[in-house]
């Protein structure tokens, strides 16, 4: 069977992961607070280091200048004690050689302020700044201990890092509070929309919300709901009118056919044609009833004997074969009853049987009854991968459709009926090595369409 009439909507793509708007607002606050705090902390640490280094170097340069001034005033005898509690050293020319031997690192330093790292007598590292001023008459060295400053800098950096954590947590709290206030009107709007679910006359939303962006959104939703309600109402009225107007001539046809069939003088050829008209009238009546239920999204009441409906469908198609070398038969034990009107079951199963008969030039079409499903197995040309993937797309007509009549909506109706009654339908190639297609209508709920993989026609 190359079932090509109709389609059901293609499988939805899985939704990509997306954060809730509330989460995005909170995350924005956290990132903003964290980023600004980190930038401020970095700028503070760099500024502190630069200012502190500048102050220390200025202090040491003043001491070097003062030592040279006092050395010059004393006639090269005494540079005086360093000011502001800085250790000072000076070496006259006769001590240059001993300095080179005892402290080659100081000896090699040029004029200026240098950062020195050394090991104390206890084996602990310490750092200091060394100011150097070398003249032919005297070399001045001024040392400024930076150990205390380094410890203070470490403590300061720890305080800054702690402030980053504190302000990030504070940003999280502010973001959570702000998101709650910002999202409260949106949440209220969503709750009101959910409360109106299923109502054919939704109430106005904008009257409950302030005149802001959310209020404007509510007004747009009110306008959209009003227009959509009008469209749905017109569609229902149109379906009801069409159904009513079509039922009237069908009732006339039915009455006329029954009256003609009651005449005893009918020849067999005329009786066969009248019975064919009668079956067509019943099919039209069933289809109109099913379409009307679909338009209202309502389930019809009643129960149906699947075997009885299947036999009626096969009898109807046998009368229309017109010499086509095709055998139609029913297999399986009767007794399967489904909670749905015969009209709905006849339309759903009739499309599957009709497609099998239409696209099978010769061989067999078997309707097989199972515990909770019905299979339609044919010996037609089979089903391509493209057809199998697109078969239930509305308007799609398969590769074997040729010039056959049909707009490609038959299986679309079947799919909608399955959605309405909780059935499932599938069409796939046969798996027993033979050409043909297996259409399965599961009447026991979703996920049961794969029941019965025995495709062989016995």
What pLDDT, on a 0 to 100 scale, did the predictor assign at position 397? 62
- β-bridge mates for residue 128, sequence order: 116, 145
What pLDDT, on a 0 to 100 scale, did the predictor assign at position 248? 73
Confidence of residue 454 (pLDDT cuts 50, 70, 90): low
pLDDT digits (tens, 9 = 90+) for 147-198: 777 778 888 888 888 988 998 899 889 888 888 887 787 777 777 777 776 6
| DSSP assignment string, 17-34 | P---HHHHHHHHHHHHHH
DSSP 5: S
How close are the terminal C-alpha atoms of the chain, in Å?
A: 17
Confidence of residue 225 (pLDDT cuts 50, 70, 90): confident
What pLDDT, on a 0 to 100 scale, did the predictor assign at position 374? 92
CATH of 304-451, one of 3.40.50.300, 3.30.565.10, 3.20.20.70, 3.40.50.720: 3.30.565.10
Confidence of residue 367 (pLDDT cuts 50, 70, 90): very high
| Mean pLDDT, range 249-256, rounded to an integer | 81
Q: Reply yes or no on whether the pLDDT at 452 is more than 60.
A: no
| DSSP assignment string, 34-71 | HHHHHHHHHHHHHHHHHHHHHHHHHHHHHHHHHHHHHH
What pLDDT, on a 0 to 100 scale, did the predictor assign at position 376? 92
Q: Where are the domains of the chain?
A: 22-153, 200-298, 304-451
| Mean pLDDT, range 20-46, rounded to an integer | 86
Q: CA nearest 365: which of 42, 105, 47, 1?
A: 1
Confidence of residue 446 (pLDDT cuts 50, 70, 90): very low
Structure tokens at 62: 């003043």
| Mean pLDDT, range 129-152, rounded to an integer | 82
What span, in angstroms and rounded, lies between the C-alpha atoms of 421 and 347? 13
Complete edge-to-edge strand list for the sheet that includes strand 112-119? 87-91, 139-145, 125-134, 112-119
| Mean pLDDT, range 220-237, rounded to an integer | 79
Q: Are strands 87-91 and 139-145 parallel, antiparallel or unpaired?
A: antiparallel
Complete edge-to-edge strand list for the sheet that includes strand 373-378? 326-331, 363-369, 373-378, 437-442, 424-429
pLDDT digits (tens, 9 = 90+) for 35-77: 888 998 888 888 888 887 787 777 778 777 777 777 777 766 6
Q: What is the dihedral of CA 200, 205, 207, 209, to 10 degrees?
A: 170
| DSSP assignment string, 395-446 | T---TT-TT----S-HHHHHHHHHHHHT-EEEEEE-SSSSS-EEEEEE-S-T
Which residues are within 8 A (CB) of 301 and not within 5 positions of it... i.e. 6 or more apart? 341
Structure tokens at 413: 């109706």
Which residues are within 8 A (CB) of 170 and not within 5 positions of it... i.e. 6 or more apart? 33
Nearest 5°: phi and psi at 87? -75, 130
DSSP 138: -
What pLDDT, on a 0 to 100 scale, did the predictor assign at position 369? 92
CATH code assigned to 200-298: 1.10.287.130
């Amino acid at each position: 069977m190359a079932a090509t009439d109709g389609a059901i909507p293609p499988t939805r793509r899985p939704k990509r992961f997306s954060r809730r708007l509330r989460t995005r607002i909170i995350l924005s606050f956290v990132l903003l607070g964290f980023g600004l705090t980190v930038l401020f902390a970095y700028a503070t640490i760099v500024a502190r280091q630069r200012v502190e280094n500048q102050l220390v170097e200025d202090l040491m340069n003043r001491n070097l200048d003062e030592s040279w001034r006092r050395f010059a005033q004393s006639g090269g005898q005494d540079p005086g004690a360093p000011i502001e509690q800085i250790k000072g050293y000076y070496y006259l020319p006769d001590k240059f050689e001993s300095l080179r031997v005892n402290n080659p690192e100081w000896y090699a330093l040029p004029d200026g302020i240098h950062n020195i790292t050394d090991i104390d007598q206890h084996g602990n590292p310490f750092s200091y700044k060394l100011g150097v001023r070398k003249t032919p008459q005297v070399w001045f060295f001024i040392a400024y201990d930076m150990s205390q400053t380094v410890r203070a800098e470490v403590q300061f950096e720890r305080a800054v890092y702690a402030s980053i954590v504190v302000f990030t947590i504070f940003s999280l709290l502010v973001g959570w509070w702000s998101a709650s206030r910002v999202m409260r009107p949106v949440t209220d709007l969503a709750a009101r929309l959910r409360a109106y679910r299923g109502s054919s006359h939704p109430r106005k939303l904008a009257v409950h919300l302030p005149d802001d962006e959310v209020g404007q959104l509510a007004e747009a939703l009110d306008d959209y709901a009003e227009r959509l309600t009008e469209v749905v109402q017109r569609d229902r009225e149109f379906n009801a009118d069409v159904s009513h107007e079509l039922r009237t001539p069908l009732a006339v046809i039915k009455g006329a056919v029954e009256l003609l069939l009651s005449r005893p003088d009918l020849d067999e050829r005329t009786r066969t044609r009248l019975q064919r008209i009668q079956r067509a009238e019943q099919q039209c009546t069933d289809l109109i009833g099913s379409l009307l239920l679909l338009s209202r999204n309502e389930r019809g009441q009643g129960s149906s004997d699947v075997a009885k409906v299947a036999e009626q469908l096969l009898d109807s198609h046998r009368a229309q074969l017109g010499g086509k070398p095709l055998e139609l038969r029913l297999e399986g034990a009767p007794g399967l009853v489904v909670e749905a009107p015969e009209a709905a079951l006849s339309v759903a199963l009739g499309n599957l049987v009709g497609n099998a008969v239409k696209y099978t030039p010769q061989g067999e079409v078997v309707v097989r009854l199972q515990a909770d499903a019905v299979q339609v197995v044919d010996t037609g040309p089979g089903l391509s991968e493209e057809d199998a993937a697109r078969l239930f797309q509305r308007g799609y007509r398969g590769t074997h459709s040729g010039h056959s009549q049909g707009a490609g909506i038959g299986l679309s109706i079947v799919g909608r009926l399955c959605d309405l009654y909780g059935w499932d339908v599938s069409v796939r190639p046969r798996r027993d090595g033979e050409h043909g297609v297996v259409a399965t209508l599961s009447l026991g709920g979703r996920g049961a369409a794969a029941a019965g993989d025995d495709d062989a026609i016995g």
